[in-house]
Structure 1
Amino acid sequence: MTVLSYADSALSLLPPVMAILLAIVTRKVLISLGVGILLGTLLLNDFSALDSGRFLLESVISLLWRDGALNSWNLYILGFLILLGMITALITVSGAARAFAIWARNHIRNKRDAKLLTIFLGCVVFIDDYFNSLVVGSVARPLTDRYYVSRAKLAYILDSTAAPVCVISPVSSWGAYIIALIGGILTAHGFADTGHLSLFIQMIPMNFYAIFALLLLFCVAFWGLDIGPMRTHELNAVRGELYDESKGLPPGANVDLPEAESGRVLGLFLPIGVLVLATLYFMLSSGARVLSADGLAFSLIGAFEKTDVSSSLFFGALVGLGATLALVFIQGIAKPSVVKGVTLGARSMLPAIYILLFAWTIAAVIGQLETGKFMASLVTDNIPFALLPALMFVLAGFTAFATGTSWGTFGIMLPIAADMAMGSHTGMMLPMLAAVLAGAVFGDHCSPISDTTILSSTGASCHHIDHVVTQLPYALIVAAISLGGYVVLGFTESVALGLGACSLLFLLSLLWLKLKTR
């Protein structure tokens, strides 16, 4: 029998913190996550070996089979990864990636332009963070490789244009989820007549982390502001080492594939375009079915709120794979090369799948330990209301860092922020909710056990921990900027002054980064 002796206590922080520290120190992600999982399982079961073994077995099985049925969310996401690996490999086999690199040599002038184009693609593909990281990574990798941009830098670009863009876009899976959460919270507090979409739009300029993470990313790409581990990776890339080869092949790598000489750029963009449009269609159609079943009229935001993201990604990738195969066969690629591409493409995603399965397992353990609730309980009533936005930003950041999920942090911290605003100063409601959104994205960016971070490293074909440690300094800089903005916002109750404070701190940070880079 499971005994939740240490749930919702300070010890509930031990498993995620242990896993994260071990991952950073040892660079062995699976072993580190395994240690965190075992420690959390033992804590949940009062160190009973028999109960711990039974609980761990049930947790692993629940990844694929839950409540007497297949765990469709997880299976669709894993299927999407495998299908995207196949598509990427077939694009390589067809010679389309090589053709794109040749095209880029004639049209993209330099390394900086390659990075800026990748940022543009990341901002345009905003319907979902998983989709953004993997699809943009597949398109941009031949381009950034051609100009010797390190895979760590590519992963940073992907991660910083995934969640930060999605969290401020109402027409995305994130935006719809947040609007639904905020709508329920505000209705519960008597704001039923308020337009939830308009409130979400009002909160966009208050999401300091998302705004300044994107601005810093642009500046880093434009001026080459590489510091710490990122500088090492960029210098190695100039010498031709795009990733740390001593650690073996990173997830998503396809180095043993033959490349046809007859490839065309169309062979890259047509499959990806079909994939994007098909995924968007399935997202809207699945959401529309739910709206119709509930007797509600169709709306774009409503469809995204009700959509089934995982199945849409899977079926969209299935259509994309069909389009890729059709182009490959029309091109006349030999069947052995096609079979090799499909096989190695699927196999290239296995490292990412292993990490994701371990991350999901430790997330389930952390959920049972109620780590998020413990983090939320640290909020006290003795703090001046002017500091509450800054406090919510910090707590949401730590919660997302420890749990590896920004969506879970939204679910835990947004109701708490609303309750505190109602109990102290209702005028701070929106700033506090925005601070939670910003903090959750910040914590998600820093956490090695975040699925978004894992998939960004996969999309870039970068070793996971290399992505984490190279992105961390930039995430911390933006967090410090955001924290200063929330302190000013709390004391002045002015969004303009908060943005002004962030802008000043941002300029000072840029000056420091330029001096540090030189």
Structure 2
Amino acid sequence: MTTLSYADSALSLLPPVVAILLAIFTRRVLLSLGVGILLGALLIADFSPLDMGQYLGQQVVGLFWDDGALNSWNVYLLGFLILLGMITALITVSGAAKAFADWARQHIRNKRDAKLLTMFLGCVVFIDDYFNSLVVGSVARPLTDRYYISRSKLAYLLDSTAAPICVISPVSSWGAYIIALIGGILTAHGFTDSGHLSVFIQMIPMNFYAIFALVLLLCVAFMGLDVGPMRQHELNAQKGNLYDEAKGLPPGANSDLPEADSGKILGLFLPITVLVFATIYFMIGSGADALAAENLPFSVIGAFEKTDVASSLFFGAVVGLAATLVLVVSQGLDKALIFKGVIAGARSMLPAIYILLFAWTIAGVIGQMETGKYMASLATGNIPFALLPAVLFVLAGLTAFSTGTSWGTFGIMLPIAADMAMGTHTNMMLPMLASVLAGAVFGDHCSPISDTTILSSTGANCHHIDHVLTQLPYALIVAGISLVGYTVLGFTESVGAGLAACSALFVVSVLVLRHKANRPA
């Protein structure tokens, strides 16, 4: 079968743009993704129905079997979702979630403290964004439900700690990946004086979006800055409607499961703690094996760079499920109830799995059409040097929004940013690389087809499009602040000046948000 490339054509934007717009206006994610997939497949197959069918068949098979071998990343990640659903359901039927909510009633004083604790947990569990969103969601949900915090707000708390924390943390799957990318880029351009880790640390204060997304989240949690669609969701939550029940149960929900009265808080925290430490063990172990296979010395950063994230999540969840089963059996729960919890937990993850499969399929279509390369090509025109950090931030955001992947955006845009810096002003190399990292996280936060956004919705048991629309105003505010910061940085070549501009605009933005949030409903 002959397929067409659209690397140099604006037509490569058509499938993701159609899918995203349909998802926003119809709020039917699977239908919207399906239309985008069919449109892209038609374009790739030059409108031949037979070739289109063959191409789609290859894409679907490739989700599970690729290049003559198991597509281990996808299979392990789906397995992790199912296992985590089982763990969460067993924690529910054991009564541990209810026991935690009862404890919270006595020790967590108010709604604000519940949100701050959720944010704190999100900052602590920084090893991987998928892991962060799903695990912190499982722990925090009983607490936020107890204080009538909407599932949309919980999803925002999860999503806006996961990626921003991971992108500035060197000891994380994101940090290791970025360090490896930047190290290769700097070496290729002859920058061998500084260590790759020290360069990454130097770039942290230049990542304006990640920094101010976290600070805005803190202000939202502390001051109750609920504006736009989020305000309506929070008002509904005060009436007991934590999510829109007219749309059915959100992914991961187990509202019909009975809860035992003999549950203990240990039944919640021990399985999650075992899951966390087992996953870290497998991440370091798989990374160490990869380093040994390449005859490289062991280091924690090196292990995270080489780790197999998906398999580590899966095997960590296997250990976590085993610990959960031991606890519920020792608690004396009826075997039929345990079995019901396991089945219900696995089934609760099916909506999230369907969305992920469709998102991965459209990502393959977008990759075939080379949408990311087309977006990157827009940065190679005659752009004034002082505007380059701001332009790269915008283009990285649009690329991540269109493709649904921040990691893919890193891989495409970072080398381009480095080449542009080498052709203009090498002293601006790191700020321009940082602007790409910031833009990619911004685009990822806004995109309905981003797997990170999907899993944040799943972790919060929130309807996916509700999460996208309620988070969007906050993401756009921080993006606007960051854009001004990168513009100032470009003209002054001073990171301090960029941060000062962002800080001043941030204070004004918070005052405006506070005024809007305090208006009568």
Let me know the Cα RMSD of the aligned residues.
Answer: 0.6
Equivalent residue letter for 2:139: V
Q: Residue 126 of structure 1 aligns to a residue in which SS?
A: coil
Deviation per CA, 1:54-109: give whole Å up to 9, x if none.
Answer: 00000000000111111100000000000000000000011000000000000000
Q: CA deviation at 1:384?
A: 1.2
Which position in structure 1 is the counterpart of 2:351?
351
- Partner of residue 485, structure 2: 485
1:252 equivalent in structure 2: 252
In 2, the alpha carbon distance for the partners of 1:399 and 1:379 equals: 11
Q: Is the 8 A contact 1:30 1:358 kept in 2?
A: yes
Alpha-carbon offset, residue 164 of structure 1:
0.2
User: 1:472 is matched with which residue?
Assistant: 472
Match of 2:235 in 1: 235
Aligned positions of 1:169-188 closer than 5 A? 169-188=169-188
Q: Indicate the residue corresponding to 2:136 in structure 1.
A: 136
Q: CA deviation at 1:295?
A: 1.1
- Which 10-residue stretch deviates more, 163-172 or 2-11? 2-11
What's the counterpart of residue 418 of structure 1?
A: 418
For 2:43 and 2:58, the matched residues in 1 are separated by 16
> Which sits farther off after the overlay, 41-50 or 435-444?
41-50
Q: Does 1:331 align with 2:331?
A: yes
**Counterparts of 1:496 and 1:239, CA distance in 2:** 45
Query: Aligned partner of 1:343: which letter?
Result: I
Deviation at 1:475, TM superposition (A): 0.2
Distance of 2:165 and 2:2 partners within structure 1: 41
Which residues of structure 2 form unaligned runs of 5+? none
- Cα contact 2:63–2:74 (8 A) shared by 1: yes
Question: Equivalences for 1:488-503 in 2 at 5 Å?
Answer: 488-503=488-503
Deviation at residue 191 of structure 1 after TM alignment: 1.1
Range moving further from structure 2, 64-73 or 378-387: 378-387
**Structure-2 separation of matches of 1:397 and 1:8:** 19
Q: CA deviation at 1:194?
A: 2.1
Q: Does 1:19 align with 2:19?
A: yes
> 1 CA distance for matches of 2:168 and 2:147?
31
- Is the aligned partner of 1:57 residue 2:57? yes
Does the 8 Å CA contact 2:6/2:370 hold for their aligned counterparts? no
CA contact (8 A) 1:5 1:45 kept: no
Whether 1:195 and 2:195 are equivalent positions in the alignment is yes
1:3 maps to: 3
After TM superposition, give the deviation of residue 127 of structure 1 in Å.
Answer: 0.0
Residue 508 in structure 1 maps to residue 508 in structure 2:
yes
How far off is 1:517 after superposition? 1.0
Deviations 1:217-252, CA, capped at 9 Å, x for gaps: 000011110011100000000000000000000000
SS of the counterpart of 2:168? Answer: coil
CA deviation map 1:365-398 (0-9, x unaligned): 0000000000000113421111100000000000
**1:515 CA displacement:** 1.1
Deviation, 1:7, is: 3.9
Aligned to 2:66: 66
Tell whether the 8 Å contact from 1:94 to 1:262 is kept in structure 2 after alignment: yes
CA contact (8 A) 2:6 2:371 kept: no
- Any runs of at least 4 consecutive aligned residues in structure 1 with deviations exceeding 6 A, and if so which? none
TM-score (norm 2): 0.99
Q: Which moved more, 1:416-425 or 1:293-302?
A: 293-302
Aligned equivalents of 2:106, 2:50: Cα separation in 1: 64
- The CA distance in 2 between the partners of 1:515 and 1:279, in whole Å, is 44
CA distance in structure 1 between the partners assigned to 2:228 and 2:106 by the alignment: 32
Question: 2:450 corresponds to which residue?
Answer: 450
Partner of 2:283: 283
What amino acid sits opposite 1:315 in the alignment? F
Tell me, yes or no, if structure 1 residue 319 matches structure 2 residue 319: yes
Contact 2:129 2:162 in 1 (8 A): yes
Q: How many residues align?
A: 518
TM-score (norm 1): 0.99
Distance 1:69 1:317 in 2: 23
Q: Give identity over the alignment, percent.
A: 81
Q: CA deviation at 1:197?
A: 0.4
Counterpart Cα distance in 1 of 2:389 and 2:282:
38
Structure 1 contact 82–345 (Cα < 8 Å) conserved:
yes
What is the CA-CA distance between 1:5 and the residue it aligns to? 5.0
- Counterpart in the other structure of 2:310: 310
Q: Answer whether contact 2:251 2:461 (CA < 8 A) is retained.
A: yes
Greater mean alpha carbon deviation, residues 4-13 or residues 162-171: 4-13
Letter in 1 for 2:490: G
Q: Which residue of 1 aligns with 2:112?
A: 112
Is the partner of 1:402 in helix, strand or coil? helix
What one-letter code is carried by the residue in structure 2 that aligns with 1:448?
Answer: P
CA distance in 2, matches of 1:289, 1:301: 14
